[in-house]
Structure 1
Amino acid sequence: MNASGDATWLNWTQYADHGPNESVLGSVAGRRVLELGSGSGSNLAHLVTLGASGLGVDVAPAREAVARERWADLASLEFRTAEATAFLSETDETFDIVLSIFGAVWFVDPHTLLPLIRSRMSSGGTLAFSHLPVGSQDVRPGGAGLRHDHSPAAWERLLTSHGFAAVSASLIDPPQGRPVGTMLVHALAR
């Protein structure tokens, strides 16, 4: 349960019960959602409780096992272990919504990943992702490593050049007393 008493919720930021909700994605009912870097599956499970069908892909087999066990009662939710570019290259599925919350979009070269995402999206579909803002220190344990940090303007150029439109990128301020906000990017597939 979160602070509001909800059993499931979508969390774009690294802080519990902080930031916008799923309305960033528009209506999810009846839509096919892919989460790249689905972790324990909590964000995707929330969207499934709202009427979406979901597929979570994560590179870590242990994460898939946790997600499968935790969300076994949701019939419209499945999980797979795969690297994001390999999955997108091999699947023939099309998705209405693709999201990545501190996931693959942050860790995979956007010139490789974005065309693959776009190729698996329905026209007019939504891509949304979040990660730490450019220049932020990653304060999470084990957070160091190769990341693709870009400014909002750079994300707009990258996304537009790879078949996306209506790009918006914004910074979600951190809760009071916390040092780092979250960048949230949203775009539509042309």
Structure 2
Amino acid sequence: MLVLGIVLVYMVMASLYGNLRDPLIVMLAVPFGLSGVFYAFYFTNTTLSLISFMGIIMLTGIVVKNAIILLDYTHLLQNRGQPLLEAIILAGRNRLRPILMTTTATFFGMLPLAISRGVGAEIWNPLGITMMGGLAVSTLVTLVLIPTVYCLFEEKRLQKAAVIQNVNGKLS
């Protein structure tokens, strides 16, 4: 289900963005969310179960959403005529609050599930631990890695476009 979800999200994003590069950049945040999950499992001595796997699927959606928010606003600023680096900085500044608000709300919403000790808590504890560990790592990575990778890919694309434009200009 997780792989199917990732593939479907990638296909939808590829059709919406009109290229294969931007969805790939967005999907780079997913493995880091998973690394946060496994660190949380290690520190809390939790095992992978059906409930924690449901948390991983939920986490994947939140991680992708955060990266899309950041990348989409960067595209919007670039389409409005902002230079690349300025668009990335403004997108990071303007989208930091919405990303942190949703992440913080989800993180603290999962806190009672992760720390509860009542009857049946052993069923829901892995879900809270999964979400909290994954959100902690993936949010930091999304805010740093996604703009950096986008900048690298976009600079290469702009350089290639400039070379093609120079060649076409010389041929005319």
TM-score by length of 1: 0.24
**The structure with more strand, counted as a fraction of residues:** 1
Bigger radius of gyration: 2
More RCO (CA 8 Å, sep 6+): 2
**The structure with more helix, counted as a fraction of residues:** 2
